[in-house]
A and B are shown apart, each in its own frame.
Chain A
Amino acid sequence: DAGVIQSPRHEVTEMGQEVTLRCKPISGHDYLFWYRQTMMRGLELLIYFNNNVPIDDSGMPEDRFSAKMPNASFSTLKIQPSEPRDSAVYFCASSLNMGGRGETQYFGPGTRLLVL
């Protein structure tokens, strides 16, 4: 398997523009996670899905952020409008459902976002 795939790897945009980040989880994985990493706040869980359904979005910073998972092999994280403070590395991760017995999350390479 190719692992978790994210695109783009780098994104530079101007404040106010819409940004869409994409993720393809490992085939067969039931859970998908979106994380954000910054120097100031470390690694933060934004939202996660189980079988394409959002389960916990309490980490989404504000209404400018939205995430979707239209099918088992694709998810998007959208920021509209973007702001400089959104600059960060965004990671997608996926895992199998093992009934809550310590599933391992596998991370993608991340998207480095810079909002000017």
Chain B
Amino acid sequence: AQSVAQPEDQVNVAEGNPLTVKCTYSVSGNPYLFWYVQYPNRGLQFLLKYITGDNLVKGSYGFEAEFNKSQTSFHLKKPSALVSDSALYFCAVRTSNTGFQKLVFGTGTRLLVSP
């Protein structure tokens, strides 16, 4: 069965500092990995995804994520945080072994960037 773990309920970082939001996964077969962001009272917005190829994936708003197969991780990173990055971040995974479209989401990590 597929699963995703986001071990931190909340991450606090000062504006201008680098940020990392952690995600680990478990799938049978090769993973497809996604990061979404949710701002208050809004739907989830796609940030980036890893399908294959380069382990470092660049996405929207200056975010990037590194796929690490040996550690089964897909941590979200940004070199310099902005107050406007404060939101709820979701990691999601599905396996490439099936043609179905079912994504499994993590429980979310709230990012709080202080001025």
Contact = CB atoms under 8 A, between A and B. Distances in A.
A and B, one complex? yes
B44 A91 contact: yes
Nearest to A95: B101
A80 interface: no
Contacts of B42: 109-110
| Chain A interface bracket (under 10, 10 to 19, 20 to 34, 35 or more) | 20 to 34
Contacts of B98: 100
Secondary structure at chain B's binding surface: helix, strand, loop or mixed?
loop
B52 to A, nearest CB: 8
Secondary structure at chain A's binding surface: helix, strand, loop or mixed?
strand
A89 to B, nearest CB: 9
A95 B94 CA distance: 14
Interface in A59-84: none
11 contacts: A45-B103, A48-B101, A95-B101, A99-B99, A101-B51, A105-B101, A107-B36, A109-B42, A109-B43, A110-B43, A112-B41
A45 B102 contact: yes
Given A42-B107, A42-B108, A100-B96, A108 B43 contact: yes
Interface in B78-115: 90, 94, 96, 98-103, 105-108
A4 B42 CA distance: 12
